[in-house]
């Protein structure tokens, strides 16, 4: 089963439509990052095809080494693709440091963290933790509570069933054309200057997880 019928170039074109001209994140950095995202799309499609062939041959077994390893790799590549789709689509040139009215997301963050500023401090602090990974602002669809989470290796640490509202990539490929390894905090500040708060609010209000997926 193909996840996307689009070509590699189509996927890059989709993801890059709104993400040029950012403040503090260069177009060259984004171009490299978009190519990496395209690699995740290719790998997901390839792995799904290989797993389908193994199933057709009756090799869908936990003791089949090829089936087991490809299944593990699929989780890494699939979440890598999905998280990048959230990441690129919650950035835009001319982003505002605060959400514009109506401030539904501001009230929701204040309920969870005390204020928008306290949430931002928490989000930034998680991003400065040692290691590679992601920082996610998520909503619990059962309680509407908003919480921040650290995710490593794409598939490790994603809270089950939660809706991602804001996704920040902290793998070094996301910033090391623009910043030194020791300047991760500067990249985080740049990310927060380019947040598309309209997209974040739309995700908050949506009854289901919302992203412009490569599966469209």
The structure tokens 């514009």 sit at 100
Residue 51 falls within a domain, yes or no? yes
Four-point Cα dihedral 68, 70, 76, 78, nearest 10: -120
pLDDT at site 2: 52
80 and 163 inside one domain: no
pLDDT 10s digits, 105-135:
999 999 999 999 999 999 999 999 999 999 9
Q: Which of 65, 89, 113 finishes a domain?
A: 89
pLDDT for position 103: 78
**pLDDT of 6:** 47
Last residue of a domain, one of 89, 115, 140: 89
Q: Are residues 108 and 84 in the same domain?
A: no
What lies within 8 Å, CB to CB, of 62 at 6+ separation is 68
56 within a domain of the structure (yes/no): yes
70 with 154, same domain: the answer is no
Q: Which domain holds residue 186?
A: 104-205
Residue ranges of the chain whose pLDDT lies below 70: 1-19, 101-102, 213-216
Rounded to 5°, angle at Cα 17 from 88 and 215: 65
pTM equals 0.89
Q: Structural domain tally of the chain?
A: 2
8 Å CB contact between 27 and 12: no
Torsion of CA 179, 185, 190, 193, to 10 degrees: 180
Judge if the upstream peptide bond of residue 102 is cis by omega within 30 degrees of 0. yes
Q: Report yes or no on 84 lying in a domain.
A: yes
């Amino acid at each position: 089963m193909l996840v996307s019928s689009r070509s590699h170039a189509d996927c890059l074109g989709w993801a890059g439509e709104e993400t040029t001209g950012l403040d503090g994140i260069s177009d060259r950095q984004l171009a490299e990052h978009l190519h990496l995202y395209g690699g995740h799309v290719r790998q997901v499609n390839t792995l799904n095809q290989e797993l389908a062939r193994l199933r057709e041959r009756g090799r869908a077994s936990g003791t089949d080494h090829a089936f087991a390893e490809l299944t593990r790799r699929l989780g890494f590549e699939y979440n890598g693709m999905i998280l990048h789709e959230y990441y690129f689509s919650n950035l835009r040139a001319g982003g505002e440091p605060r959400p514009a009215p109506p401030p539904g997301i501001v009230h929701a963050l204040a309920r969870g963290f005390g204020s928008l500023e306290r949430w931002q401090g928490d989000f930034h602090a998680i991003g400065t933790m040692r290691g590679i990974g992601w920082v996610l602002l998520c909503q619990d669809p059962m309680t509407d509570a908003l919480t921040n989470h650290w995710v490593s290796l794409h598939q490790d640490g994603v809270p089950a069933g939660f809706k991602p509202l804001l996704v920040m990539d902290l793998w070094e490929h996301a910033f090391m054309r623009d910043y030194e390894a020791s300047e991760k905090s500067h990249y985080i500040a740049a990310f927060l200057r380019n947040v598309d708060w309209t997209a974040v609010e739309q995700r908050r209000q949506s009854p289901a997880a919302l992203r412009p997926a490569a599966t469209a």
